[in-house]
Structure 1
Amino acid sequence: MTADDLAAAHALSADLRWPHRPADWEQVFALGDGLVAERDGAVVGTALRWRWGPQHATLGLVIVAPACQGRRIGHRLMTALLEGLEDRSVLLHATPEGRGLYERLGFVRTGEVRQHQGTALPAPLVALGAGWRLRPAGSNDAAALKALDAAARGMPRDALIDELLASAEATVVLDHDGQARGFAMLRRFGRGHIIGPVAAPDAEGAKALIAHLSGLSAGRFVRIDIDFDSGLAEWLESLGLLRVDAPTTMVRGEPLAVQPGVRLFALATQALG
């Protein structure tokens, strides 16, 4: 894949009613690399990968045009994409249609994601305990947010956090006695805005972060992709964000070594993890 393929890649995702804007494709491609499948000079398939540090990677935006499905194009794209990643833990989020292919390539199910979206309602603020507060992220917070993301996701993604800090409309930090203990970002994506990633020490901290950003977005279309085990689904629906999809989290290689004290409650995107 080259930058010249992005318009065709966007058209392919739009044909499948995926929400990605051209700007979304440009952003993720700048952080990784990918492959396209062509038929008679036309792009009929895409697959991207992002290498994070020396031991991890994520895969996403694996698409095959409906007219070309059933011809092993997806298998050939994935096989080529996995070359050079043999010694890495590789994460992806699978649609029901793709799960069988990924299982045959050595991926195993490790969890589920719940995609919620809708027109955000005004959100009541979540009370925090003594010493806890929400504050806007400052220029000196980048290192702390990278460390929190790495601990919560189980892989270092410094370039991603730098890019999201630069492009986010709002980044809010969960602070305890002057120390960053969690964070969440709100930015343009797809049909409107997306909240993510969200990292926090517990569900109440995640709710405080999400409620703040959802309140900023009241009346606008908002999406958030949460860990199924987060316990936030019913609460998100009370904010007008209804469940619309449930992809499967899959990993090939060593399980992701998340650290205690912080948890990833919402993804950056399904492709990036």
Structure 2
Amino acid sequence: MIGEIALRETSADGVTLRPLEAADLDAAHALSVAVRWPHRLEDWRFVAALGQGLVAVRDGEVVGTALGWHWDANQAMVGMVIVAPQVQGRRIGQRLMQGLLDNAGERAVMLHATAEGRGLYERLGFVRHGEIRQHQGQARQAPLLMPGAGERLRPLGRGDSDRLVELDAQASGMPRGAAIRALLDTAETVVLDRDGEAVGFAVLRRFGRGHAIGPVVAPSLASAKALIAHWSNLCAGKFLRIDIEAGGGLIEWLEEIGLRRVGMVAIMSRGEIPRRGPETGLYAILSQALG
């Protein structure tokens, strides 16, 4: 859906805002490398294909980016907000964000904010209501963990997609079926099965410096650990990342299997917070951009 935002404006300082186009992705990736984000060009392509974006251009150079994803008529997500260090302080980030918010209309909008961006988002009406902890490192073999009674881990089946989309919507409160289906098509997935029905899942994908786990959707902490341990053991000795919500009960255990806490972002929203189902938990997010 690249390029669907109908906005083009130029400020007095010569910075033009326009829709993100496929031809901009190399420059967008270079910008993220410049600010030490780990995303590969392939990671940019994945998130850009699912949403709409804006770029800020000065003297022919991309100096800012921001992407948005409209899950339905009521909910949206914003991410990949980057401003080049040499042009920070010129309200470029605010202009990019305002363009995305205008495009979102009446939708409630959620994002994950770095410490540097939090002040801007608060001025735009976002409220903090939680934290995401980033854990990563060289994965270690985790102790063998068994799922609950009647549960087993199995590979993704051909008929699982609709059920996993449903489970993700219950766990995240966001109807992001297009993102989950795209992820299932390009990544590896293990399913938690209870008496013949999928009740949880965990995805492993290539990302940044190695691999990332997420989302992890499960009915209990023990089941979530079993799903994560499955991928940690397969990735033992390799670089692995997982982003979790604070308070989910995983922090100390992740440290034990080699995934140290290295950072934190704030969960912020403008409008109604997504409503989650009571029976399924989101133990790891898909990504800081997509939630």
TM-score range, shorter chain: over 0.9
Tell me how far apart the structure 2 counterparts of residues 130 and 76 of structure 1 sit (CA, whole Å).
53
Tell me how far apart the structure 2 counterparts of residues 53 and 81 of structure 1 sit (CA, whole Å).
15
Give the AA of the match of 1:14: V
Higher alpha-carbon deviation: 59-68 or 127-136: 127-136
2:158 is equivalent to residue 146 of structure 1: no
Tell me how far apart the structure 1 counterparts of residues 148 and 52 of structure 2 sit (CA, whole Å).
44
Tell me how far apart the structure 2 counterparts of residues 8 and 176 of structure 1 sit (CA, whole Å).
46
Deviations 1:68-115 (A, max 9, x none): 111100000000111132321211000000001001111111100000
**Structural RMSD (CA):** 0.8
Any idea what SS the aligned residue of 2:104 has? coil
**Matching residue within 173, 189, 206 for 1:188:** 206
Task: Provide the residue aligned with 1:197 in structure 2.
Answer: 215
Task: Provide the residue aligned with 1:52 in structure 2.
Answer: 71
TM-score by length of 1: 0.98
**Matching residue within 165, 179, 186 for 1:167:** 186
Task: Provide the residue aligned with 2:25 in structure 1.
Answer: 6
Task: Provide the residue aligned with 1:100 in structure 2.
Answer: 119
Task: Provide the residue aligned with 1:89 in structure 2.
Answer: 108
Tell me how far apart the structure 1 counterparts of residues 264 and 54 of structure 2 sit (CA, whole Å).
26
Give the AA of the match of 1:114: R
2:157 is equivalent to residue 114 of structure 1: no
How many residue pairs get aligned? The number is 272
Matches within 5 A, 1:190-229: 190-229=208-247
Shift of residue 151 of structure 1?
A: 0.6
Structure 1 spans left out of the alignment, 5+ residues: none
Task: Provide the residue aligned with 2:259 in structure 1.
Answer: 241
Give the AA of the match of 1:206: A
Deviations 1:147-185 (A, max 9, x none): 0000111011111111111111x2011111111111100
Tell me how far apart the structure 2 counterparts of residues 132 and 272 of structure 1 sit (CA, whole Å).
29
Structure 2 spans left out of the alignment, 5+ residues: 1-19
Tell me how far apart the structure 2 counterparts of residues 26 and 85 of structure 1 sit (CA, whole Å).
21
Matches within 5 A, 1:60-75: 60-75=79-94
Task: Provide the residue aligned with 2:177 in structure 1.
Answer: 158
- Greater RCO (CA < 8 Å, at least 6 residues apart): 1
**Matching residue within 262, 265, 270 for 1:252:** 270
Give the AA of the match of 2:230: H
Instruction: Give % identity.
Output: 62
Tell me how far apart the structure 1 counterparts of residues 283 and 167 of structure 2 sit (CA, whole Å).
12
Any idea what SS the aligned residue of 1:246 has? strand
TM-score by length of 2: 0.92
Task: Provide the residue aligned with 1:134 in structure 2.
Answer: 153
Report if aligned partners of 2:156, 2:189 keep a CA contact under 8 Å in 1. Answer: yes
Any idea what SS the aligned residue of 1:139 has? coil
Shift of residue 122 of structure 1?
A: 1.1
Deviations 1:225-264 (A, max 9, x none): 0011111011001110001101000011111111110011
Give the AA of the match of 2:61: A
Give the AA of the match of 2:102: E
Shift of residue 124 of structure 1?
A: 1.6
Give the AA of the match of 2:30: A
Task: Provide the residue aligned with 2:288 in structure 1.
Answer: 270
Deviations 1:45-82 (A, max 9, x none): 00000110221111100000011111100000000111
